[in-house]
Amino acid sequence: MCELLGMSANVPTDICFSFAGLMQRGGGTGPHKDGWGIAFYEGKGVRCFHDPNPSVDSKIANLVKEHPIKSHVVISHIRQANVGDICLENTHPFQRELWGFIWTFAHNGQLDNVLFSLPLSYYHPVGSTDSEYAFCWLLGQLRTRFPEQPDDFNEVSAFIHTCCETLRGLGVFNMLLTESTHLFAFCGSKLSWITRKAPFGEARLTDCDVTVDFVQETKPGDIVTVIATVPLTTNEAWVALKPGELVTFVKGLLQ
């Protein structure tokens, strides 16, 4: 199993606080020692860092933690390998281009080998994980259904939801997916989110002894949603998604 972390915000926001908590699970408080990755969007552009080493020891993870990169949309993942060797090409998140957008995908869970009989079309995996295969299948389905970007993104959400339900039928499938503006979160078994906005309060990390006072860190109009497989703070009311539920966030707001 693995840990997922996502963020959607209406202003460029750094994710240092949440990432500090997640990193501890990468060989510190958790067993997820088989690599980690994080994608930060700036407009349609994206920076992506991957490391097959445990996040708790990683020099690149330290750079990300200490050197705030501000972003509207973030997807991060730390891995405990089940399917596929520990190597760079098996490290989430995975990325492919569709409609002139770089789509980024990360998965928590494990899927039955039946997955590998689902037909691929435009996209092919580089590594050997079930996760990347599922992503290639899903994005290929989306491209076949919508060769051009549709005007109404609700149609895209609904179609992605259908594909996610197919994948949930094959095992455990919690997912984060984005094309830069929309952050799609699908819960197969566990996924929780919280929206922080004014009036801001204090938050305390579950995984290490860190507290942040968001009043000091934010402006009154800021809206920031964080999504994680397991809530990252002990003193806030996270919303747990139900199995089979897909939610979409734009600029921090639930659509």
Q: Closest CB to a second copy among 59 and 219?
A: 59
Q: Rounded to 5 degrees, what are φ and ψ at 12?
A: -60, 125
CB 205 within 8 A of CB 20: yes
Q: How far apart are CA 108 and CA 191, in angstroms?
A: 10
CB 72 within 8 A of CB 9: yes
Query: Which residues contact residue 74 at a Cβ distance below 8 angstroms, ignoring those fewer than 6 apart?
Result: 5, 6, 7, 15, 38, 39, 40, 41
Residue in 55, 80, 90, 248 binding a second copy, rule: CB under 8 A: 90
Shortest CB 113 distance to a second copy, Å: 19
Residue in 12, 29, 81, 101 binding a second copy, rule: CB under 8 A: 101
x/- letters, 115..154, toward a second copy (CB under 8 A): -------xxxxxx---------------------------
Give me the residue label for tokens 């806030």. Answer: 236
Q: Closest CB to a second copy among 57 and 89?
A: 89
Catalytic residue among 2, 163, 164, 187: 2
Q: Closest CB to a second copy among 97 and 213?
A: 97
CB 202 within 8 A of CB 164: no
Q: Closest CB to a second copy among 62 and 154?
A: 62
In 3-state terms, what secondary structure has residue 228?
strand
Contacts to a second copy from residues 46-75, by CB under 8 A: 46-52, 59-60, 63, 67
CB 51 within 8 A of CB 89: no
Give the count of residues interacting with a second copy (CB under 8 A).
33
Q: Is 240 in the site for a second copy (CB under 8 A)?
A: no
Give me the residue label for tokens 């501890």. Answer: 24
Tell me if residue 2 is catalytic.
yes
Q: Which residues bind a second copy (CB under 8 A)?
A: 42-52, 59-60, 63, 67, 87-91, 95-97, 99-102, 122-127
Active site members? 2
